[in-house]
Structure 1
């Protein structure tokens, strides 16, 4: 494992330096409280406690951190290997929600299947508690680069839903989940609130600082992504232009010739050598840009919307994915570090032009 630190910009080891020291043993050790490798939280009790199901990986991960040390069991409804936005499940998922004690969701207009399930709960007077993680979050307007037919979410459906990519905004969703768990299991209120406070201060705020350091150190303020339009909140938070190739809000949709042409222009004008590509999206657009432009390779980015099997095995959550996947890629695509010096030992070999 590499022991490289960011000593040139910081005199002490940050949380990012520690996590980037290794992808396996370190991630597993730090994530020991995250539960088993089946995307379920360790209930910490007899297994007879309340069951909470979540419609999206990021908020499943937040909920299991908040519930750690209580009998509350948290389950992720999104199957391993799938992207949580654009997936359409079968009817068994609605049954899982009906049978659960609480349903953590991302608010209306984001996941149509979740909206339908919520309507079923209301129509049938099912008492599954609903926890809207988006409640009270200030959303930004849809990016100008989006497909004009996209409707977004929020009042007038003109807002970008991907707020959790901003660690500061993500703290509000942690608060919303906490209040939901307190309502569900008030006898464990002190544990929920302590866990939430620790997660916000020791994880989300540190991620925010480390992201800021990456973007502050960059000479370029443009990132080209062969991925869907999910990263506007990163740009808004840290003052960088995120240029997605796929202009849909969900990880779907065709790439038009005009999108490729625009990406080529951005790459040429900004002397871009490396681009980011969505982990759970087709790699064909990235491969095309490598073949047809000066781009030398692509590396992974993800909006924390799904997990791979090896991530589950290593108990990776929002925190580990930030440090092991997104941050090394941003450093490479911004030119802060050569690929050989980014991430954990072997990161470049594992992720360069990944399939």
Structure 2
């Protein structure tokens, strides 16, 4: 079980809906996110741009209290894996002091930007958040040759779902920031240590408590295969309906039949579905099986407009989206008891796409 401080923090976040985090104004995800050109009016302070929401959020926490600005390149409402930006994004990257990315073979557009930077001798620093992180093998059902499998062939790239693995990416970002703004090295490293100890450690403890008290060890997802790292860390089977790694992947009749079997054999009443994915397969399972409803999960790959307005990051999404849904689908709590705020069940029970 989590300690009293962990539970207290969770309750605080549930009541508030979000913790107010410094520095979001001007850093929200826009279709054409600003690069260094816009920041020149701020005295030429350094700018880092991120290819993925989770690492934008980590980056802004690490840069807090320094002149470094961190911007998210992925537009609000879109999933960070599978989005194809327009040409202006490449300019934003090449005009920035640093580009925070998830490593090769995960976001093709990011790979092209890296090739441009290295091939043309552009001085934008490259910060690979995946450096030094041990990855899990892909599930046996996955096609090793599918486009966008990420990381290296045969490996699952979604490591940041595991809060403990995510800590290494926080260190990678901090050291990347030290390279471009060494005068703030102490601040970057101190912020990184604080975030790891006060946020990621707490999230790990909360997840551990949720999964330890569960009466079942299987979760049926009507989403793509992005949650293996939670299953590995906390000893639960994550059964994705979409067996490839792309959020836009097709659902085959055999996938539906397998999900129906899992639901029937495990007496599953509630399933989880991706916030930024199609709801049609989940709706089909509600119609055709004993499932009563689906609720939201997300691999922290994007944000909704209201999340931006409430300044949600990785922490707030964990507490307000993923944790309550895992409580429900594991059978720990009823939807009403698990809800972190008034109106949550009404908003998220069998939710419609954004």
* TM-score interval, normalised by the smaller of the two chains: over 0.9
Give, in angstroms, the shift of residue 32 of structure 1.
3.0
Please name the residue that 1:232 is paired with. 228
After TM superposition, the score normalised by the length of structure 2 is 0.92
Q: 2:243 aligns with which of 243, 247, 271?
A: 247
Alignment check: 8 A CA contact 1:39 1:75 kept: yes
- In the alignment, the residues of structure 2 paired with residue 37 and residue 354 of structure 1 have an alpha-carbon distance, to the nearest angstrom, of 29
Please name the residue that 1:321 is paired with. 317
Q: 2:13 aligns with which of 8, 16, 19?
A: 19
Matched, 1:346 2:340: no
Root mean square deviation, CA, Å: 1.9
Please name the residue that 1:86 is paired with. 82
Q: 1:264 aligns with which of 248, 251, 260?
A: 260
Alignment check: 8 A CA contact 2:106 2:157 kept: yes
Matched, 1:56 2:52: yes
- In the alignment, the residues of structure 1 paired with residue 202 and residue 250 of structure 2 have an alpha-carbon distance, to the nearest angstrom, of 36
Q: 1:146 aligns with which of 139, 142, 146?
A: 142
- Write the mapping of 1:34-73 to structure 2, written as runs, cut at 5 A: 34-36=23-25, 38-39=27-28, 46=42, 48-73=44-69
- In the alignment, the residues of structure 1 paired with residue 253 and residue 224 of structure 2 have an alpha-carbon distance, to the nearest angstrom, of 16
What runs of 5+ residues in structure 1 fail to find an aligned partner?
1-5
Give, in angstroms, the shift of residue 248 of structure 1.
1.3
Alignment check: 8 A CA contact 1:47 1:71 kept: no
- Write the mapping of 1:94-105 to structure 2, written as runs, cut at 5 A: 94-105=90-101
After TM superposition, the score normalised by the length of structure 1 is 0.92
Give, in angstroms, the shift of residue 253 of structure 1.
1.6
Give CA deviations for 1:320-352 in whole Å, capped at 9, x if unaligned.
Answer: 000000000000000000001112222111110
Give, in angstroms, the shift of residue 110 of structure 1.
0.4
What runs of 5+ residues in structure 2 fail to find an aligned partner?
none
Indicate how the Cα distance of structure 1 residues 37 and 224 shifts in structure 2: closer, same or farther if over 3 A, else same.
farther
Give CA deviations for 1:63-109 in whole Å, capped at 9, x if unaligned.
Answer: 00000000001000000000000111111111110111100000000
- In the alignment, the residues of structure 2 paired with residue 72 and residue 131 of structure 1 have an alpha-carbon distance, to the nearest angstrom, of 15
Give, in angstroms, the shift of residue 37 of structure 1.
6.6
- In the alignment, the residues of structure 1 paired with residue 23 and residue 279 of structure 2 have an alpha-carbon distance, to the nearest angstrom, of 30
Please name the residue that 1:122 is paired with. 118
